[in-house]
Structure 1
């Protein structure tokens, strides 16, 4: 299913996006050395419920997971990159943490992810990998405009990631979003320009470049959810929900001025 939002629905999408961006900003400021992943999940739950919103994850039960997910945010550390199931782990100095959050408010969902290094130790290789996903995300957003095709976005993202030297996995990528978290079209993190669905004003997309330092192969934890690099290398993931407008792409999940 591909949804095209009207102006009223787009206004609601902006509210959801601001909430997601604000929650992630707040969590980033609170995630320090010694913070437990279960505390991050609990804080997320509190902020979602206080806003009168709903988690897109608690009851999430896709075919590839061992569902339902049962938590409010994905917390992926170091070699974990996607669907990190919160568990009893205290963050250590130098850990690379990815927070991935999807929330629905007034019937419209928004999805965003950030990666950052915790504490005083800031390994240059980790920072470079995070920057690569952020730059790829910016390139994908810049390519998003009415009349462009999904392949144009995939090509822009993949060009940045491959030029930075990272292998690219195409099993998981970006997606349409709207009244539900995951919709068509699927947006791989590399592809051929000029192909795929043609973008229209009112379309919401979640673009999410992610990479692993030296492999494109994933392995699944015993928890049935957490996806890790097959080699144990570090990973990074950046994501925004955008709306296609008459003038290009509007980023809906930017951090708010005041954290939630």
Structure 2
């Protein structure tokens, strides 16, 4: 049921921009992991992210850190925050197939009130134009920018997430690819969650159990797996400190009128 649905909420971001340049090579990279959870103190105040050059040619890159905040629908806004981390190396040059471990060390203070979210951006830099190639050799050079989600939590903090509202909706699946018509709507639910704990929560790491009555008035129970949730809502990030998120998910069968309860289980 969920296999054709794309991730629609907080997720690790991937952006490609094209520049007119003289180099003919097309570059690509892999960044792993794409979600990093840290704490402000102890061994987890340090993390490592690996960058790999997948294609032919050299891969010059630089790193940037931005602080994230999300609205209730998971739309992020970013502000520069390089001073909150020591990143080493901050830039590099990878030969074909090479890997580089980028080390992150939190230096933003040990007493933050709640988890803080960031993007670690790995930005490919354009190769200088070969001035001897001539105007006819100019081609499009594609550079890739990848972003890993980094979340830093206070030590010993815990999340406390509850569903504060649940309602049935007509869920609109996304188009198979850009420009295609939208497929028909399917049954779904909209769930509002609030996290009163000090630590963030990754709700796609849990199963969601929905219980209510179907359109005929019979009891109905639907379990949504971690795999299905990751396809639809990404990581399911809910910020701490009273943070609120709204998630919309498709269902295999419609609930009828009446209350719907949501439980989260490992």
Query: Same fold judged by TM-score > 0.5?
Result: no
Q: Based on CA coordinates, which of the two structures has the bigger radius of gyration? A: 2
**TM-score normalised according to structure 2 size:** 0.31
More helix by share: 1
TM-score by length of 1: 0.31
